[in-house]
């Protein structure tokens, strides 16, 4: 791989997934892991060649020629969907419950990339609006848990932990302890935390370097979830491992202690639980 070419493609992929909000220069530098000065020169080059533009708000976006060409960039987003779709379909067929694939946006909300809905008449489903809170969903928390400690603390400081139900975690102390438990066990669960009557379990999807690149979720009405809790947890973990293996992870076994999360740029009720 040529590092400079990888960075250009990384930026284009990030911008393509967050066209409406755009990205600040500091966002780009942080996500690429490069100095702000290097990010500045990179973005000036893309601006000069009409691939990206800097708006009055200081945020970079794809050039207008590309803003409505959804999917024109491949990369992580496209590869995830290619690998995950058949696995998700098989998971829904096996369990009879709804499955979601989601990643984290730069501001650490959940972006749903794909869903396969349960065939049952009484089932859990959601609309396709893109961004949802992470702290009150298992698919968000299973990715938050593997962020660097400093980023987690920043999230806890800046995020208003709104109470959706009696089971929603609404204090930094409670959420911090929950994320630590998720790191130890390698999965996250939500029981009536976002919406009463809806529960789910999520497992992390690992990339080639062992980083958590997405979350895989199984959601069901709470009564059914509680009755098949262990089976759903085993099924979603196995499916996440299968995606990780095909996606390039050198070891598809659950590695919660060593995993780290990444964010893929791009809150409504309801959402994946």
Q: Are the C-beta atoms of 193 and 224 separated by less than 8 Å?
A: no
Tokens 């809790």 correspond to: 229
pLDDT at 225: 93
pLDDT at 257: 45
Domain with CATH 3.30.450.40 in the chain: 75-261
Calpha distance 244→205 (Å, rounded): 5
- Is pLDDT above 90 for 205? yes
Over the stretch 51-91, which tens digit does the pLDDT of each residue have?
Answer: 888 989 999 988 776 655 444 555 666 778 888 999 999 99
pTM: 0.71
pLDDT at 222: 94
Calpha distance 110→103 (Å, rounded): 6
Domain with CATH 1.10.10.10 in the chain: 3-62
Please tell me the CATH superfamily of domain 75-261, with its number. GAF domain (3.30.450.40)
Over the stretch 113-165, which tens digit does the pLDDT of each residue have?
Answer: 889 999 988 888 877 566 789 999 999 999 999 999 999 999 999 999 999 99
pLDDT at 217: 96
Over the stretch 231-244, which tens digit does the pLDDT of each residue have?
Answer: 999 999 999 999 99
Q: Domain 3-62 adopts which CATH fold?
A: Arc Repressor Mutant, subunit A (1.10.10)
- Is pLDDT above 60 for 265? no
CA 58 to chain centre: 25
What separation, in Å, do the N-terminal and C-terminal C-alpha atoms of the chain show?
37
């Amino acid at each position: 791989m040529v590092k400079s070419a990888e960075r250009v493609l990384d930026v284009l992929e990030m911008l393509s997934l967050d066209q409406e909000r755009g990205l600040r220069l500091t966002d780009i530098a942080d996500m690429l892991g490069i100095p702000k000065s290097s990010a500045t020169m990179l973005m000036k080059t893309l601006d000069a060649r009409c691939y990206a533009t800097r708006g009055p708000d200081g945020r970079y976006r794809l050039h207008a020629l590309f803003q409505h060409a959804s999917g024109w960039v491949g990369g992580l987003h496209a590869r995830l969907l290619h690998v995950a779709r058949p696995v998700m379909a098989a998971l829904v067929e096996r369990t009879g419950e709804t499955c979601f694939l989601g990643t984290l946006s730069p501001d650490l909300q959940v972006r749903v990339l794909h869903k396969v809905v349960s065939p049952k008449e009484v089932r859990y489903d959601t609309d396709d609006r893109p961004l949802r809170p992470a702290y009150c969903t298992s698919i968000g928390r299973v990715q938050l848990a593997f962020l660097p400690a400093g980023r987690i603390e920043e999230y806890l400081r800046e995020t208003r932990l709104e109470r959706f139900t009696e089971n929603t975690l609404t204090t930094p102390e409670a959420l911090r302890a929950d994320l630590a438990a998720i790191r130890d066990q390698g999965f996250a669960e939500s029981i009536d935390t976002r919406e009463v009557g809806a529960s789910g379990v999520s497992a992390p999807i690992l990339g080639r370097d062992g980083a958590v690149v997405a979350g895989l979720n199984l959601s069901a009405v709470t009564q059914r979830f509680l009755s098949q809790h262990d089976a759903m947890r085993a099924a979603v973990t196995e499916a996440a491992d299968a995606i990780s293996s095909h996606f390039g992870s050198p070891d598809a076994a659950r590695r919660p202690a060593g995993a780290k999360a990444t964010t893929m740029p791009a809150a409504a009720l309801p959402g994946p639980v």
